[in-house]
Structure 1
Amino acid sequence: MTSMVLQGGRVIDPGAGRDGLFDVLVTDGRIAAIADDLGAAVPADAQRVDCRGKLVLPGLIDTHGHVYQGVTGRFGMNADLCGVRSGVTTLIDQGGPSCITLPGFRQYVAEPSHTRVLAFLSAYLAGGLEGHYYPEMYRPDCLDVDATVKSARQNRDLVRGLKAHAEIGGFARWGVDVMRLASRMGREAELPVYIHFGQLWPKPGDGGLPVNPDSIFNQVVEMLKPGDILAHPFSRHPGGFVEENGKLHPLVPEAVARGLKIDVGHGSHFSYKTARIVLDAGIVPDTLGADMHGYNTAVPQPAGTPDSHPDEEDHMFKGKTRFGLVSAMTSMLALGLPLAHVVDMVTRNAARMARMEGELGTLTIGGVADISVLNDERGRWRMTDNEGTEVFTEQLLTPAFCLRAGRRFEADASILPVAQEA
């Protein structure tokens, strides 16, 4: 047997109600023991890893990734770059594969990756090609309810939900029809639907159907069931959680009361100003996805089409940003969310969203050893969003390494940010 003991770190595990200094013993890829001092219980030949001053967490779960590398064009990133090499043990791809391309996603992404990769299946036959750049591929005629539900049912181990979009460009083209079909898919497949809010496509050249951005949220929420997920609450684009008058949409608290969940979906649309409005109104997201992709992250991309993408053009750093799930966690701390809740967002709550609570997102004796170890520093750092808004934080989290089924991976991804001291 091979053993490793993580010694003296601050273990935070909301699912187990644990927060304190503990040793964690891993044997043959599984968690063998957790105690404040394992002492003689540690095998003599165990590898000892000093984790003093670090956070030892259940393996982090990124609820919003785009990792269908190659097939989705320049949009999809390498799963291990965003995953284990960034301190993250599980990634959920949001809408990359469709019912047509899911077999390829399984064979070429999920199976060969060291990171555990799951998927929210695209509601559209096209999947996430080039980040949904070509809107006509996402019209109602390009959805097949029966085929998508069948694919989801036959791939329960991989498909944990469905992905659709509710935004101005689509509503101006075909109204609410796409969301009706996506909602039906979720009910028939008995899976959560993850809904993108905030403008994605420009309006059609003739202006299309008249759309009041503030009416989109109302129309969509009425179709949804408890457990469905409202994404991008902190988006700077219209048509989401914050109305054009700068106030929280009045239906948001009711949606939460009805059992709908909220995922940050950080990405390139993230706004500290919008976040402040939402949080000050008492709305706290349940989960946190990084939403990295090839157009908003500093990663070499192959030649392809289109020549440019709105997320790249509209990005104040012109696609040169370095970030990841752990830096998104620091953004949440900078906004004033407690560390305990931020950890909950990327562990227990994320596992619940994937319908894998108890299996993922917690450290269970005998369970698989998915563990993320983070550096936890104090000082003063400056953080900037895509609008140029600056916030400051006195606590900085960075990934040190992770264990995926007991195997150690260093956090050496080229996309990891370099902190800016204030």
Structure 2
Amino acid sequence: MTQVLLKGGRVIDPAAGLDATLDILVDEARIAAIGPDLAATAPIAEIVDCKDKLVLPGLIDTHAHVYQYVTGRFGLNPDLCGVRSGVTTLVDQGGPSCITIPGFRHFIAAPSKTRVLAFISAYIVGGLEGHYYPDLYRPECLDAAATVKAAQANSDLVKGVKAHAEIGGFARWGLDVMKIASQIGRDARLPVYIHFGQLWPKPEHGGLPVNPDSIFNQVVETLKPGDILAHPFSRHPGGFVEENGRLHPLVPEAIARGLKVDVGHGSHFSFKTARIVLDAGVVPDTLGADMHGYNTHLPAPAGTPDSHPDEEHSFLGRTQFSLVSAMTSMLALGLPLDQVVRMVTSNAARMIGMEGELGTLKVGGVADISVLDDRRGRWVLEDNEGTQIVTDRMLTPVLCVRDGVRYDANSPSLPLARAA
């Protein structure tokens, strides 16, 4: 029998309305007890001192890229982004497709210590090299029927559909790809996760004229309640903020119609854009890190490209980040801790259709728990535009318990805090 006692931490579970100093006893893969001073009831448990630390439901990263090797440089090792970064569940966004989902299950999801789920790619090639070759993503390279079949046959793994609505694609194909992706989501009865902002450079010759401010409203018209609009804080045009620097007027209407918003941090995250969106009253529902091989400093597999063709938009990130550091950025932007915790726990669980099973702490429930340091001081945060802000609060992962097993947060991908 393996028991772990997380002792004396600040336990926060927004789904349960819980915020108190408590112990959590883990017995094998389940939570056996939650309460004050449980040491006497568990004399054989490994005691983990969590004083002055946050003890949260296992963190869920809603935007990961972890189809390692198959997606070339793009796909990272899932456990580096997952349990070794204090995160118990990853949702790969668009790595596997209808023709590669069996490999994703066998080589990624099954052996990983982290729980790995996926939003299946709307494109038959999936996320090869981070969508390096735009011509592979044209309308003729989608197979709606095959993608629906693959999603339904792998419903334990596939929790949604991934597609892109961005300037380079619109200059090539207009709205055609989005129409097919939206139909896949309807037929599979799954949410569609939409990337907004630049991904591919515009075609060198020809191409359709594109008004970046027209993309958002065209795409929203194709979507259904529960679909997810990603990258609201992107510095690229074609998304939540118009070229005039104001929130796109249809964003509030889209949210009122039941569409959801995921931060999808990534290397295109902008503090300036975030300020515009938040000041307009738009608060994202969920928070994904969007780490991948082009915006981290981890070694790349031999033979993969040195950079992405979208070079002018700094796809190669100079600032390291993680899901927990993205939580720090949300706090620095003024979001309350309870809201930020919801984004990576209960709201994320709802997004993937696992509300009540993940994203909460309950006796008898799965023992997925994240423990974070919550320090006070002065640190510099920087985005890839070079904008710097100073924060007085820094969250860093310490460890997590995934399915009852403890993992220390020792990933080489974790960023180092910069003192102000």
What is the TM-score of this pair, normalised by structure 1?
0.98
What pairs up with 1:2-401 in 2 under 5 angstroms?
Answer: 2-41=2-41, 43-310=42-309, 314-315=313-314, 318-401=316-399
Q: How far is the alpha carbon of 1:303 from its aligned partner?
A: 2.2
Q: How far is the alpha carbon of 1:29 from its aligned partner?
A: 1.6
Within 2, Cα distance between the matches of 1:207 and 1:417?
Answer: 42
Deviation string 1:314-335 (CA, Å, 9 cap, x unpaired) is: 439x545432100010010111
Deviation string 1:235-284 (CA, Å, 9 cap, x unpaired) is: 00000000000000000000010110000000101000000000000000
Name the aligned partner's letter for residue 177 of structure 2: V
Partner SS, residue 57 of structure 1: strand
Within 1, Cα distance between the matches of 2:342 and 2:85?
Answer: 18
Within 2, Cα distance between the matches of 1:212 and 1:8?
Answer: 55
Deviation string 1:159-211 (CA, Å, 9 cap, x unpaired) is: 00000000111111111000000000000000000000001111111241111
Partner SS, residue 268 of structure 1: coil
Within 2, Cα distance between the matches of 1:94 and 1:291?
Answer: 9
Provide structure 1 residue ranges, at least 5 long, that are not aligned to the other structure: none
Identical columns (%): 75
Q: How far is the alpha carbon of 1:392 from its aligned partner?
A: 1.2
Q: 1:235 to 1:310 in 2, by over 3 A?
A: farther
Within 2, Cα distance between the matches of 1:143 and 1:21?
Answer: 51
Contact 1:262 1:286 survives alignment (8 Å): yes
Within 2, Cα distance between the matches of 1:40 and 1:312?
Answer: 59
Partner SS, residue 237 of structure 2: coil
Partner SS, residue 267 of structure 2: helix
Partner SS, residue 403 of structure 1: strand
Contact 2:319 2:384 survives alignment (8 Å): no
Contact 1:369 1:405 survives alignment (8 Å): yes
Within 1, Cα distance between the matches of 2:390 and 2:222?
Answer: 39
Q: How far is the alpha carbon of 1:137 from its aligned partner?
A: 0.3
Q: How far is the alpha carbon of 1:385 from its aligned partner?
A: 0.3
Match of 2:410 in 1: 412
Within 1, Cα distance between the matches of 2:99 and 2:117?
Answer: 16
Deviation string 1:12-47 (CA, Å, 9 cap, x unpaired) is: 001111011011011112100101232532x21111
Contact 1:295 1:312 survives alignment (8 Å): no
Deviation string 1:345-387 (CA, Å, 9 cap, x unpaired) is: 0000000001000110001111110000000000111000000
Within 1, Cα distance between the matches of 2:144 and 2:39?
Answer: 57
Within 1, Cα distance between the matches of 2:33 and 2:278?
Answer: 38
Name the aligned partner's letter for residue 164 of structure 2: H
Within 2, Cα distance between the matches of 1:310 and 1:421?
Answer: 34
Q: How far is the alpha carbon of 1:313 from its aligned partner?
A: 6.3
Within 2, Cα distance between the matches of 1:47 and 1:305?
Answer: 44
Within 2, Cα distance between the matches of 1:313 and 1:219?
Answer: 26
Within 2, Cα distance between the matches of 1:165 and 1:313?
Answer: 19
Kindly tell me the number of residue pairs found equivalent between the two proteins: 420
Q: How far is the alpha carbon of 1:310 from its aligned partner?
A: 4.3
Name the aligned partner's letter for residue 29 of structure 2: G
Within 2, Cα distance between the matches of 1:234 and 1:63?
Answer: 16
Provide structure 2 residue ranges, at least 5 long, that are not aligned to the other structure: none
Name the aligned partner's letter for residue 331 of structure 2: L
Contact 1:296 1:311 survives alignment (8 Å): no
Within 2, Cα distance between the matches of 1:55 and 1:168?
Answer: 41
Within 2, Cα distance between the matches of 1:235 and 1:339?
Answer: 22
Name the aligned partner's letter for residue 94 of structure 2: G
Contact 1:61 1:347 survives alignment (8 Å): yes
Within 2, Cα distance between the matches of 1:312 and 1:11?
Answer: 43
Partner SS, residue 294 of structure 1: coil
Q: How far is the alpha carbon of 1:298 from its aligned partner?
A: 1.1
Contact 2:318 2:384 survives alignment (8 Å): no
Contact 2:201 2:310 survives alignment (8 Å): no
Name the aligned partner's letter for residue 17 of structure 2: G
RMSD: 1.2
Contact 1:57 1:373 survives alignment (8 Å): yes
Contact 1:95 1:162 survives alignment (8 Å): yes
Partner SS, residue 171 of structure 1: helix
Name the aligned partner's letter for residue 219 of structure 1: Q
